[in-house]
Structure 1
Amino acid sequence: MQRSEVEPAARPGLPDLDLRRPVRLEFWAALFASGIVCTTVAPLFGVALVAASVIVAASAALDVELVPEGFRLLAVLAPLFVGGGYVVAALHASAPDPLAELAALEPGAVTVVGEVASPPVASGFGERADLRVEGLSLDGREVLRGGGVEVYVPGLDGVGVGDRLRVTGELSVPTVGDDGFDYARYLRTERISAVLEGEFAEPVGDSRGWIGSVHRRTDVALGYGLRPTEAAVVRGMVLGDRSLIPEELDEAFSRSGITHVLAISGQHVVVLAAGIFFAAKLLRVPRVPRIAGTVLLVWLYIVIAGAPPSAIRAGVVATLVLSAGLLARRVAPLHFMSVMLAAVLAWNPLLVYNTGFQLSVAAVFGILVLRKPLKSLVEATVMRPLHPTGSGASGAVANLLAVSLSAQVATAPIIASSFDQVSIVGVLTNLIAVPLAGPILALGLFSAIFGNVAPLLAYPPNAANGALVYVLEVLATTTSSFDFAAVATPGVTVPMVAAFYVGCIPAALCRFVVPENRWTFWAGIMLAWVAAWLFLAHLGDA
C-alpha cells in the first residue's frame, strides 16, 4: 500500500486536525478586526467576544462534528485572532497622551513649534491645518514633545505640508457639540490630540517642505486655464481640498449622491496605480521594479494628498494586490479587504469613528457581497424587457446598476446618521458620475505631473478637462433640483443603523447559502426593507 493511501489514526482525546485536508483560514483577518472594533467601541463587549471565541474553540476541539471540517482549525484558533485584536485595541487605548491631558487643563497661552502635516484650508477663523508637535512651551519653558494639534490661525497662505511653524495661542480640547458630535474623538482618528487657536504664526528656518512645494505647484497647475468653479472641483478630486467649491455646488453634489467623487478615495488610487503600472509595462520596465515603483508612487500621492483614511485603505489594498502579483498568488477580493481592514485598524483603531473610513469600507464590502444578488434582481426586472438573457450590453448595464445600488445600500445608514439626508437619485447619477470621474481624475493627475515641471504644460489636459467637469456640474445641479432627489433623515441613532444592516444579512449571505434562482427574491426583500427603513428614518423630520 502506498504511503498517500494511509490515513493517520487520530490520537485518543485529541481533536482531529489533519492539515493535509483542505483548511479554511481566510476569515482570520475578520476575527482579528472584530476584536479591535468591539474592544474600541465597548471594551466589555470585546471581553465577551474573546470569551465567546474560547467557548467556540473548546467546543470545536471536543466535538469534531460541531464545525465543518474545513473550518475546524479556524474555530480552534479563533481565540488567538480575536484575542490579538483585543490586545491591539487595549494597547492603543491605554497609551498615554500627555498633550491631550495638558490641553484638558486649559493651560492658557502656549507656543508650539512643529511641522505642518496637512494642507491649510480656509475656516471661519483664519486657516486650519494639522501640526505635528516638535516642542510645546508654556511660560517660556518647553514642557513636552510629540503629538499633533489642529491649528486655527490667520496668515497660513503659502504654507505647505512639511513647512515648520511657530504658533502661539490657546490650547484646548473640543467639547461635544449640541448635536452630539464628538469633535475631539474625530480628531483622534487622525492622531490629533488638541486644538490650538493661534494669535499668529511664523516660519521656523529657511527651508520649505518638499511635499508642500509639490502641493503648491500642483495647486497652481490644476487651476491653469480653468474657470474658478471647475478648477475648484478638479482640486477637490485630485488634492481632496473642497474649500474653494461654492457652497451651493457642494450641496448639489450631496443631494445628487455624488459627493464621493470629490474626495480622495479608492478610485483615485486605482486610476493612479493602473496608469503608472501599465505605462511602466509599455516602457518594458522589469516586473519587480515596475511593481515596487508603482507602490512607491501611490504612497507618495497619498502623502501629498494629506493621507485621508479612505486613501490609506485603498493604498493598503493596492499594495497587497500588487504584492500578490509579484508573489504569483491568487487574489481573493473578500479576503484581501478583510486583511486591509485588519491592517488599517491595527495601525489606528479609532478609525472606526471616522465617517470617511466607514463609508469607504461599507461601499467596498457592499459591492463584494451584494452585487450578484442585486444584478440578478435588475436582470429579472429592469433589464428583462430589453434582453431576457442578461447578456451583452444589457448585462453590462445591469452590472453597473448593481454596483451603484450595492454601494448606495451599504452606505445609506452611515450617510443618514452623519449628514441627515440620503440621496434617492444617487443610484442613477452614479452611472454617469463614476465613469466620468475616471477621465477627469486621470487628466487632473496628468495636469499635476506636467504642471510641476512648468505650469504652461498643464494647459492641454486642463482644457480637455473643462468640458468633462462642466458635464459633472450640470449633472449635480440638475438632478439635485428635484424635490425627490434626497430624503431627510434626522435623528438616526446607532440602534437604527444596526437594525438596517441586520435586515440586509439575508441578501448578503444568499449567494453563499441558497441556489442562484433564489437570489432575486432575497435582493427584492432587502430593497423593500431599505425603503421601509428610509421611510421610518424620514418620520423624524415630521
Structure 2
Amino acid sequence: MEAADDRRGLRLPGPEGPRLLLLPGRQEPGPGDGGAPSQPQLQPGRAEHPTGDQDPEPPPARRPGRPERPRLRRTGPLRTSPFPFLFLAAAIGLGISAASAFPIPPGPACGLSFILLAAGWLAFAVRSDRTAVFFLLAAVAASGAARLALQDRDYERNPLHSHEAGDYVDIAGRLYRSPGREPDRDLLFIDVRTVGSGGAELPVRGHLRLSVPFARGTRPRLDLLAGDEVHASVRLSSGGAFRNFGAFSYERYLRGVNIHRRASTKTSLLVRRSAAAPAGSVRARISRIRCGIQAELERRFPAADGKDISPTGAVLEALLLGEDGRLDEATVENLQQTGLYHLFAISGGHIAILNVLLFSLFRLVRMSPRASRLALAAFLVFYTILVEGSPSVLRAVIMTLAYLAGRLLWKDVHVLNTISASALFLLLLNPSSLFDAGFQLTYVATLSIILFTPPLLKKLPRLPFKATELACLSVTAALGVAPLIARNFNRVTLSSLLLNFAAIPLVGLIMGVGYAFLPFAAAFPAAAG
C-alpha cells in the first residue's frame, strides 16, 4: 500500500485503528503527514514494541560457566584453474626427477604416496582446501617417483638384461617391429623367447636390438617383416657405457624405449627366418606396407651402384617414414649446422604439417569441422601405426588427439591444459621419457609457442601469406629450446630462424606430393613411370 507521500508499506490492524508498517530503509511518517501514527522500527530482541505486538520469545539462557565451542571455519574457496593438468604434470615430473637424483625403492615410494593421499583427504574433510591441494599434488609427485622406481626394478630384473654370456649364444624370438636401415647395417628388434649356450636352451624373455652388418654389393639386405620368427647366433653386449656427468645417457635411452640388451653378429648369414608372421597379423600387414614404401623408394631413387638407396631417396625416406638411419654423414652434418635437422626426423613439426595439409584437403571437399576432426584423428592413429610407434610421433599424435578430443567434447579448450594432459599420460606410461631430449624439446618448444606467440603477434603488423605467424612461431620455438640444445648438443644455431621461412613450406610441399604419389605409383605403376 502507498501512503500519501508515496511511501510504500503494509496496513496492519491494531486496537487504535489501522496503521502503516513501512518497508525497511524508509523513514516513518510524522504525525502531521496525514497518515497513520508513527511507529518505531521493529528489530527482534529490542525492548520497545508497538502496542498490540507480542514480545518475541527470549533466547534460551546458556548454562553458566559453559564455554562456547569454536566452530570450524572454512577457508575461502580456491579459484578454479582453467588448466589443472598443468599442475598434475609438473608434480609427476618433479617426482620422477627427484627419484632419479635420489633413488628410492618402490615400496616406500608407494607408501608415501598413499600417506600423502590420505592426508589430502583428511585436510579436505576439515575444510582446509589449500592444504588438501598441497598434499594431493605431493601424492602425485610421490606416485611419479614410485612409477620410475617400479620401471627401474622391472628393467633390472629382466632375465635378458641380467643374463651372463661371454661368447656367442643362439637366440630365438619374434620381430616386434620392422627392421631398421643404416648405411652399413640392419637393425633387428627381437622379442627373445629362448637363449641357447653349450647345448642347453633356456627360456629367457626380453627385447633385444641386434646389429647385422650389410655387405654392400655382396648380399642384399635382410627381407624380414614384423612378426617373423628368427633364429640368430649373436654376441650379447656387456652393458654399461661411458658418458660425461649430466650428458646424454644411452642406458637411460634404452630403458625409455624398452630395449633390455644389445647384441651384434658377424654376418647376415648367422640370421635366418624360422617362420613367417601369422597371415592375419595386423602388425605384419603394416610392416609389409612400410617395407613396400621403402622398396619403391629404392627402385625410384637407387644409389650410384644400384645396390641401395641414393641420398635423395634417403631424405624422402626420412620425411615420409621417419627412417633417418640411411642419411649420409655429410647431409646430417649440414642439417645440424643449419639447425634444420628437426625437419628431417619425424616429430611434432611433421604432425603439424600433416594437420595443415589434411585440414586444407578437408576444407576443399567441404567437410564439416566435426567430420574433419574425426577423419584427422583416424589418419593420425594409422600414421602412428605406420611409423611403428616412434616416440617422437607418439608424443605429437597424443598432443594432437588430446586437443581434437577437447574440441569434440567441449566448446572452449585450453591448449595448455590439453598439452599438459598429454604429458601426464606419457609420463605415467613411460616415466623415463622425461629424460629424453626429444621429449624435453617437444614440450619446451610447444610451451614457448603457447606463452609467447600471442602477445608477440599483437605487437607486430600482419603480413600476407601468414608470414607474421610463421615468424613468431619460428622465433619463440627456437629461443625456447636454445638452452636445451646448447646443453644436449653443445651448439646453438640461429640461422634456422631465417631458414625455417623457406624450409617449412618446402618440406610441407614435399611431404604432400610424396604421400599422394606413392599410393598412385602403387596403384598405377605404368602411369607413374
Give the TM-score of the pair, scaled to structure 2. 0.69
Correspondence list, 1:40-189, <5 A: 40-43=99-102, 74-75=133-134, 77-96=136-155, 97-103=157-163, 106=166, 108-122=168-182, 124=184, 126-154=185-213, 156-177=221-242, 181-189=248-256
Task: Give the counterpart of 1:323 among 387, 399, 405.
Answer: 405
Q: CA deviation at 1:458?
A: 5.7
Q: Which amino acid aligns with 1:243?
A: G
Deviates more, 1:440-449 or 1:155-164: 155-164
Whole-angstrom CA distance in 2 between matches of 1:345 and 1:142: 37
**What does residue 503 of structure 2 align with?**
433
Q: Is the 8 A contact 1:89 1:346 kept in 2?
A: no
Q: Which amino acid aligns with 1:424?
A: L
Q: Which amino acid aligns with 1:161?
A: A
C-alpha change, 1:84 and 1:150, in structure 2 (3 Å) is: same
C-alpha change, 1:417 and 1:221, in structure 2 (3 Å) is: same
Q: CA deviation at 1:253?
A: 1.0
Q: Which amino acid aligns with 1:168?
A: S
Whole-angstrom CA distance in 2 between matches of 1:110 and 1:14: 71
Q: CA deviation at 1:75?
A: 3.7
SS in 2 for 1:168: strand
C-alpha change, 1:307 and 1:175, in structure 2 (3 Å) is: same
Whole-angstrom CA distance in 2 between matches of 1:418 and 1:90: 25
Correspondence list, 1:4-403, <5 A: 12-13=71-72, 15-16=74-75, 22=80, 25-43=84-102, 74-75=133-134, 77-96=136-155, 97-103=157-163, 106=166, 108-122=168-182, 124=184, 126-154=185-213, 156-177=221-242, 181-199=248-266, 200-207=270-277, 209-222=284-297, 225=300, 228-273=310-355, 275=357, 291=373, 294-372=376-454, 390-393=460-463, 396-403=466-473
SS in 2 for 1:263: coil
Q: CA deviation at 1:178?
A: 5.8
C-alpha change, 1:440 and 1:60, in structure 2 (3 Å) is: farther
Q: Which amino acid aligns with 1:419?
A: F
SS in 1 for 2:275: coil
Q: Which amino acid aligns with 1:99?
A: P
Whole-angstrom CA distance in 2 between matches of 1:41 and 1:113: 32
Q: Which amino acid aligns with 1:453?
A: A
Whole-angstrom CA distance in 2 between matches of 1:457 and 1:142: 53
C-alpha change, 1:421 and 1:218, in structure 2 (3 Å) is: same
Whole-angstrom CA distance in 1 between matches of 2:519 and 2:376: 15
Q: Is the 8 A contact 2:226 2:277 kept in 1?
A: no
Residues matched between the structures, number:
430
C-alpha change, 1:165 and 1:289, in structure 2 (3 Å) is: farther
Spell out, residue by residue over 1:136-189, the C-alpha distance to the aligned partner (whole angstroms, 9 max, x if none): 334444433532111012464333434332222111244313666532322221
Whole-angstrom CA distance in 2 between matches of 1:262 and 1:300: 20
C-alpha change, 1:76 and 1:443, in structure 2 (3 Å) is: same
CA RMSD after TM alignment = 3.9
**What does residue 453 of structure 1 align with?**
523
Q: Is the 8 A contact 2:348 2:395 kept in 1?
A: yes
C-alpha change, 1:404 and 1:142, in structure 2 (3 Å) is: same
Q: Is the 8 A contact 1:17 1:73 kept in 2?
A: no
Q: Is the 8 A contact 2:445 2:480 kept in 1?
A: yes
Whole-angstrom CA distance in 2 between matches of 1:421 and 1:448: 37
C-alpha change, 1:16 and 1:262, in structure 2 (3 Å) is: same
SS in 2 for 1:267: helix
Deviates more, 1:241-250 or 1:429-438: 241-250
Q: Is the 8 A contact 1:166 1:202 kept in 2?
A: yes
C-alpha change, 1:454 and 1:129, in structure 2 (3 Å) is: farther
Q: State the structure with more CA Rg.
A: 2
C-alpha change, 1:398 and 1:278, in structure 2 (3 Å) is: closer
Q: Is the 8 A contact 1:119 1:129 kept in 2?
A: yes
Deviates more, 1:94-103 or 1:185-194: 94-103
Q: Is the 8 A contact 2:77 2:129 kept in 1?
A: no
Whole-angstrom CA distance in 2 between matches of 1:426 and 1:357: 20
Q: Which amino acid aligns with 2:154?
A: A
Q: Is the 8 A contact 1:151 1:198 kept in 2?
A: yes
Whole-angstrom CA distance in 1 between matches of 2:411 and 2:271: 51
Whole-angstrom CA distance in 2 between matches of 1:353 and 1:295: 28
Q: CA deviation at 1:372?
A: 4.2
Q: CA deviation at 1:425?
A: 0.8
SS in 1 for 2:265: strand
Q: CA deviation at 1:193?
A: 0.8
Q: CA deviation at 1:280?
A: 6.2
Q: CA deviation at 1:105?
A: 5.5
Q: CA deviation at 1:192?
A: 0.3
Whole-angstrom CA distance in 2 between matches of 1:454 and 1:37: 52
Whole-angstrom CA distance in 1 between matches of 2:480 and 2:154: 33
C-alpha change, 1:304 and 1:174, in structure 2 (3 Å) is: farther
Unmatched tracts of structure 1, length 5 or more: 1-10, 380-389, 460-542
Q: Which amino acid aligns with 2:137?
A: A
Q: Which amino acid aligns with 2:421?
A: V
Q: CA deviation at 1:289?
A: 7.5
Structure with the largest fraction of helix: 1
SS in 1 for 2:196: strand
Q: CA deviation at 1:292?
A: 5.1
Q: Which amino acid aligns with 1:391?
A: P
Q: Which amino acid aligns with 1:34?
A: G
SS in 2 for 1:210: helix
Q: Which amino acid aligns with 2:289?
A: V
Give the TM-score of the pair, scaled to structure 1. 0.68
Spell out, residue by residue over 1:418-441, the C-alpha distance to the aligned partner (whole angstroms, 9 max, x if none): 333221211111122122221222
Whole-angstrom CA distance in 2 between matches of 1:88 and 1:436: 42
